[in-house]
A and B are shown apart, each in its own frame.
Chain A
Amino acid sequence: MLMWLIKKIHTYAGLLTFVNLAVYAIVGLSATLLRQSARPAPVVSYRSFTVEPNLTDRQVAERVCLLLNLSLATPVNSFAIQHDDANNLFLDFRHANGRHQVTVLEKEGRIRVEVARNFFWDYLFTLHGTTAALHSGDWRMQLWADYNEFAMWCLLLMIASGFTMFVASRLRSRIAQVSLAAGCCAFAALYFWTR
C-alpha cells in the first residue's frame, strides 16, 4: 500500500511539473552553451507623458509603468528610481523580458524609452529562478513564482520517492547498482578535484 502511494506521488508530481522541469533543463543548456551571446541592440522611442504637479518620483514611476504596461516591473524597486546628469527622473526598470530605461523629460512633456528586450532563453533563465520568495505586482508572475516553488519541492519529492522505490523493488538490479556507484564516484571525483 505504501509503495503504491509512493509510486503515485512520484508519477503525479512529475506530470504536474513536467513543464517546469523542462524549463530547468532548457535553462541548464542555454545558460552554459549560449552564455556569450550578444545582446540585441536597444530600441529608443519617445512618448507623450505629462507629469502632474506634486507627484513623488515613485508615483511618477508607477504611472510610467502603467503607461508602458510594465506590470512585470512592479512593485517599483527603489533602485529603479534615479536621476540623470541633467537631473531628469531616470527610471531603470529590469524585468523578466529585459530592461526599460525611461527618462522623464518633464519640460518637453514626453518620455524617452529605451527598450532592451532579452532573448527567450534569458527570459526562461529569470523564470527558472523565480520562486515564492518573490512578491510581484503582476498576478501572472506571482502565480508562476508559487507554481515554480511547488515544482522545486516536487523535484525533491521525486528524488526521495524514486530512491525509495529503487531501494524497495530494484535494489538487486546490477545495472542500477552500477549506475548509482558510477554517479556517486563521478560526483565525488569532480567535487574533490574542483574544490
Chain B
Amino acid sequence: MTMYQNLRTVHLSIALFMLLFLLAFAISAVDFAHRKWLPHPHWISVESLKLEPGITDARVLARQWRGELAEVENSPGYLKFRVTTSLGRSRDISYSIATGDTQVQTSTIGLFTTLAWIHIARGVWAYVAILFSLGLLTLGVTGIYLWFKNHSERWIGGALLLAGAGIAVGLIVSMRLG
C-alpha cells in the first residue's frame, strides 16, 4: 500500500473509532452554545433503605454507591451527603445514625445533559478527552495530507486553508496582544 492509502485508512479508522465520541463532543458544544435549543429533563426518585446503625463516617457509607463523595453535611443525629458520578447522576443520602434508616434521592439527567458532562470530562472521561484531542489532531494532519495529495483540489483548498487559518490565527494573536 502507498503512503496515501495508509493514511487514508488511518484517517477513516480513527474517525470511525471516535464517531460516538465526536458526536458527543459536537452535540454538547451546540448545547453549550445554545442552551435553550435542546431539552434538559431530569428525574428524581426516592428509595428507603435500612442500613447498619451507628456509622458516623460518610466515607464508609458512600462506598455503597459508585461516584465521588461530593458534599457532606453534619446535622444532629444524621449524616447527609451527596455522591455524584462522572456523568452527572447524583444521589443525596440522608442516614439516621441511631436507627440506620436511610433515604436515597437519586437525580437522573437526560441525554443532552449527560453529553455535557462528557464534554467537561470528569473522572475517566478526562482520559477520553486526552485521547479524543490526540485523535482530532491526527484527523486534522492526515486530512491535510490527503487533501494535498489530491492535485486537482490544491488551489481551491489552499486558498480556503489560508483564508481560514489567516482569520483564526490573526484573531487569536491580535486579541492576545491586546
Contact = CB atoms under 8 A, between A and B. Distances in A.
Nearest to A152: B29
Interface residues of A, number: 64
B17 A182 contact: yes
Interface string A137-159: 01011011001010011011001
Interface residues of B, number: 64
A47 to B, nearest CB: 15
Given A141-B175, A194-B124, A156 B89 contact: no
A16 B164 contact: yes
Interface stretch (A37-45, A55-63, A173-181): A173-181
Given A183-B19, A190-B128, A12 B176 contact: no
B129 interface: yes
B112 interface: no
B12 interface: yes
A121 B178 CA distance: 16
B143 A170 contact: no
B171 interface: yes
B136 to A, nearest CB: 4
B54 interface: no
Contacts of A11: 143, 147, 150, 153, 157
Contacts of B105: none
Interface in A22-36: 22-29, 31-33
B135 to A, nearest CB: 8
Interface stretch (B30-38, B45-53, B94-102): B30-38
Contacts of B140: 14, 18, 21-22, 25
A20 B35 CA distance: 21
Contacts, number: 170
Contact of B15 (A133, A162, A190): A162
Q: Taking chain A's interface residues, is the majority helix, strand, or loop, or is none over half, making it mixed?
A: helix
Given A19-B168, A182-B17, A195-B86, 14 more contacts: A11-B143, A14-B143, A23-B168, A32-B126, A69-B178, A97-B175, A140-B171, A141-B175, A159-B19, A159-B23, A166-B15, A176-B13, A180-B17, A194-B87
B30 A28 contact: no
A114 B143 CA distance: 44
